[in-house]
Structure 1
Amino acid sequence: MDACGERFVIVSGDSRAEVDEVGGGLAGFVQGGRVRVEPHSPTARPAKGSGAVLAPWPNRVRGGRWSLRGARQQLALTEPGAGNAIHGLLRHVPWTLVDRAGDRLVLAAVAAAQPGWPQPVRIRITYTVGAGGLGVETEVENLGSAPVPFGLGFHPYLRVGDVPADDLELTLAARTRLPLRDQLPDGPPEPLERPFAGTPLAGLELDDAFGGCVPVEGDGLVRHRVVAPDGGGTELWAEPAFGWVQVFTPADFPRHGPDGALAGARAVAVEPMTCPPDALNSGTDLIELIPGEAQVLHWGITATG
């Protein structure tokens, strides 16, 4: 079996998305003849979190330790070099195929009760493609007997076809930046001195958490985008529940060139999150899941320009 299990493909018109069985994450998206999300091979573990579903918390938990109603919790240290727990519990488990059509795919998984995580949570994701691009609906439900905090994130790397990342401009809906030290919070959010509004990515090295993401247009959606010199762009939209975004610009993302050879290239991850890093300790913007009550959240990606 490939490292990512089965590779599911959904298509409608000029929109095509690929999704991995293992991890349930997005493995590529094309719209309008241009790649919009970095693809990755089904034969290797996705590099640098590519396409991952981040649940039941996104980003890091300091030392893997947190407390729930006075009871200390200790998660497995899945970022062993730094001694933290990172990106939830479902990145490397097979997801169950619930439903599949030409333009629609539904997968589900359960973050089981385990050391450091006291209540089972079911996550059900519906991926849909169409004229408006890619839509992602996530339904989460606490299957346990007591409330549990929850956070959700996703880890797509955005592209505008073959345009190099350094030639793109970045716009974020964020109004604040969270100071980080060793990728963990180091103080309260600070207002952005300059907003990201058509900011060139050339020369920027980011692995930063931004907050205050609010709608600026009348449709009530948070919008982040990258735009190429020709005016074409790729936009990530999300409901206001995704009030945070992590932006990561590694210089060594593995990408196949025109000759098929694999080489490191600059890439830009735009990661919508419902809460900031280490939210299980700070409590900031956590969603409380009540047993038996479902929460539904939406985001997506579409071509612009």
Structure 2
Amino acid sequence: MNEPMPPTGEQFEIAGDRARAVVTEVGAVLRAFEMDGRAYCETFDAGERPPRGSGAVLVPWPNRVRDGRWAWGGTPQQLALTEPRAGNAIHGLLRHVRWRPVGQTRGAITLDAVVVPQPGWPVPLHTTVRYAVDDDGLAVTHSVRNRGVEPVPFGVGAHPYLRVGDTATDDLVLTLAAGTRLALDDRQLPSGPPTPVTGADDFRSGRPLRGRVLDTAFGDCAPAAGDTRVRHRLTGPDGGLELWADPAFGWVQVFTPDDHPGRGRAVAVEPMTCPPDALNSGLGLITLGPEESWTGSWGLRPLPRRL
């Protein structure tokens, strides 16, 4: 008798001399990442659905679309309301589909999927994600190709929940390479334009997470002078973790739930190419013509303990 398929499907493990990661078939989710036996992502059981979008690939848009409505070429589009309580379409169209492995080595795996034309999404997109580990950490590379006959806008994001081993989330300091903040309403939709970060919302020099409740979109994420990558960091008394990204990931959402399965208080640091409701605002959208492609990368690099 065949065993039932778990909600996350087949599990793909990749490993190097020091690093290890687990990626799922359903959703191409990053289920685990470790370096030297130390966990740097919150994990979950293979028999469970990823809690709160944990580790998800967010294509063809990250975050939310107000009422699931947007317009393409002047034609109204209606997406399924996948966040029904708030009346939003959330986190794209590929979180619950089976991705196909198209290449695997000991230390890397590439999976692909197709966003097929469907209610609310008119143009097919072929997308891949490659996860690779080495002695520097984890690198994630996304590619998107327009397989239709007309241009289409899109966005890409990821939803990792980060940790630094067993250090409590409240004992970590968050540093963001972000110059603006997007105010959100109770539906987590924009309530105004981006504004410069000030005071307690300015994480450029680092701020403790203790006592902070965040579900906030930050923008103008840019490399420091002389650098080529955007760098966000979590640091604590026993080391840290850097989330680096290509400049195309000009936005980051930070979410700090108190009831994340496993350790309770957790922090998601979500690199995004565009902010919430970008299909309506146009902020950060990437437009591809027929057979055009886009590629972008981000990754995780453990940081040593400061002596």
Instruction: Pick the TM interval, shorter chain.
Output: over 0.9
Residue of structure 2 equivalent to 1:252: 259
State the 1:198 CA deviation: 2.3
- Mapped contact 1:31–1:302 kept (Cα < 8 A): no
Which of 72, 81, 96 does residue 68 from structure 1 map onto?
72
Residue of structure 1 equivalent to 2:243: 236
Separation in 2, partners of 1:41, 1:174: 33
CA RMSD of aligned residues (A): 0.9
Which amino acid counterpart does residue 227 of structure 2 have in structure 1? D
Does the alignment pair 1:162 with 2:166? yes
Pair 228,217 (structure 1): closer, same or farther in 2 beyond 3 Å: farther
Pair 116,137 (structure 1): closer, same or farther in 2 beyond 3 Å: same
Residue deviations 1:274-303, cap 9 Å, x none?
Answer: 000000000111000111111110110010
Separation in 1, partners of 2:57, 2:221: 20
Does the alignment pair 1:186 with 2:191? yes
State the 1:217 CA deviation: 4.9
Separation in 2, partners of 1:55, 1:66: 16
Separation in 1, partners of 2:241, 2:10: 27
- Mapped contact 1:58–1:277 kept (Cα < 8 A): yes
Does the alignment pair 1:40 with 2:48? no
Q: Secondary structure at the match of 1:254?
A: coil
Which amino acid counterpart does residue 299 of structure 1 have in structure 2? W
Does the alignment pair 1:272 with 2:271? yes
State the 1:132 CA deviation: 1.2
Residue of structure 1 equivalent to 2:234: 226
State the 1:22 CA deviation: 0.2
Number of positions where the alignment pairs a residue of Structure 1 with one of Structure 2: 296
Residue of structure 2 equivalent to 1:284: 283
Does the alignment pair 1:55 with 2:54? no
Which of 107, 110, 126 does residue 111 from structure 2 map onto?
107
Identity among equivalent pairs (%): 58
Q: Secondary structure at the match of 1:180?
A: coil
- Mapped contact 1:57–1:151 kept (Cα < 8 A): yes
Separation in 1, partners of 2:45, 2:113: 22
TM-score by length of 1: 0.96
Q: Secondary structure at the match of 1:106?
A: strand
Which of 14, 32, 36 does residue 10 from structure 1 map onto?
14
State the 1:15 CA deviation: 0.5
Which amino acid counterpart does residue 192 of structure 1 have in structure 2? V
Separation in 2, partners of 1:297, 1:214: 14
Which amino acid counterpart does residue 7 of structure 1 have in structure 2? Q
State which drifts further: 277-286 or 214-223.
214-223
Residue deviations 1:65-112, cap 9 Å, x none?
Answer: 000111000000000111110000000000001011100101000011
Residue of structure 2 equivalent to 1:261: none
Residue of structure 2 equivalent to 1:146: 150
Residue of structure 2 equivalent to 1:201: 209
- Mapped contact 1:119–1:144 kept (Cα < 8 A): yes
Q: Secondary structure at the match of 2:67?
A: helix
- Mapped contact 1:122–1:141 kept (Cα < 8 A): yes
Residue of structure 2 equivalent to 1:174: 178
Separation in 1, partners of 2:125, 2:91: 15
- Mapped contact 1:32–1:303 kept (Cα < 8 A): no
Which amino acid counterpart does residue 75 of structure 1 have in structure 2? L
Does the alignment pair 1:213 with 2:221? yes
Gaps of 5+ in 1: 256-263
Separation in 2, partners of 1:272, 1:225: 12
Separation in 2, partners of 1:17, 1:59: 24
Which amino acid counterpart does residue 45 of structure 2 have in structure 1? S
Separation in 2, partners of 1:223, 1:37: 17
Which amino acid counterpart does residue 248 of structure 2 have in structure 1? A
Which amino acid counterpart does residue 233 of structure 2 have in structure 1? R
Q: Secondary structure at the match of 1:210?
A: strand
